[in-house]
Amino acid sequence: MVYIAQTALELGTIYALVSLALFLSFRILNIADLTTDGCFVLGAAVSVSFAAKGHPCIGVVMGMLAGGCAGFVTAFLHTRMGVPDILAGIITNTGLYTINLMAMGWSSNISLLKKETIFSLFKKTGIGGSWYPLVLSAVIVGLCMVLMRLFLSTRLGLSIRATGDNRDMVAASSIDSRYTITVGLVISNMMTGLSGALAGQFQRAADINSGNSIVVIGLACLIIGETVIHGQKSLTRNIIAVLVGNIIYRFIYAVILRTGLIPVESLKLMTAIIVAIAIGAPAMKEALAYRTRAHREG
């Protein structure tokens, strides 16, 4: 049970950055950014490639910056070329497949066998004992969450929030919505790239298909967290919900894998069911509350 909890906490913390990215793009900017899948792989590919050459720390930074570049391309297509946000993400995601292969030396996967990673380097400090991956990832993710909260309270951050609420009002207020959208998508995809960079070095490998369905799972984790941490909505509460939702999802997944309650061949189906329930839960809850009210009044 301890192993399951440790695995869920480690993976939930690392992948929480994807949900944090989606929180900014989907919740704040109100943009369905489908760059996420390819951007996650890009971060992992760049990070692992640098680590394979003996530069794991630089790899994490470069993976994050590469993600930001992918976000800029999506923003450019949407704001400057008039491509709808969903199509812009799909176009960038499609192009990233080749870029990711290029980053991995035209191979579908790359391994870090017997190579140093930021986690192995941190292990040598002796901090955290056997929980060292969680300690390191929690510090990085916690810092990102704090910085995100502070950023969204700045003048630029408030402009980004206003852009998501009403673009026409923002334009009438002499705020360049193209600029705020670009900044938002760049930061969002930097978080996704950072998540991929950490995941790649944590798992000591990068695979061209490792980003499949990341955007759906990340959104589901975001909704799970928001459902669990309900009450008065606030930025702080929503950002915390990002981490909580990912830990819950990874715990469920780890239990299934560890106990064998469901055959391995059925895990994709189980994932689809969990995601569908998580995304549909708010609507089902609202419908149930409406029927209960109608029954009482009737």
Which one has a higher pLDDT value, 142 or 228? 142
72-131 tens-digit pLDDT? 999 999 999 999 999 999 999 999 999 999 999 899 899 988 889 999 999 999 898 889
Handedness of CA 235, 245, 7, 188 (dihedral sign): negative
* 269: number of Cβ within 10 Å: 11
Rounded to whole angstroms, what are the CA distances from 52 to 193, 208, 271?
A: 18, 16, 32
Q: Tens digit of pLDDT for each residue in 15-72?
A: 999 999 999 998 899 898 899 999 999 999 999 999 999 999 999 999 999 999 999 9
Where residue 191 falls among pLDDT bands split at 50, 70, 90? very high
Q: Of 195, 191, 214, which Cα lies nearest the Cα of 47?
A: 195
Q: Which of 100-114, 197-211, 275-289 has the lowest mean pLDDT?
A: 275-289
What pLDDT, in 10s, does the model give residues 256-266? Answer: 777 777 776 77
Question: Average of pLDDT values for 197-217?
Answer: 90
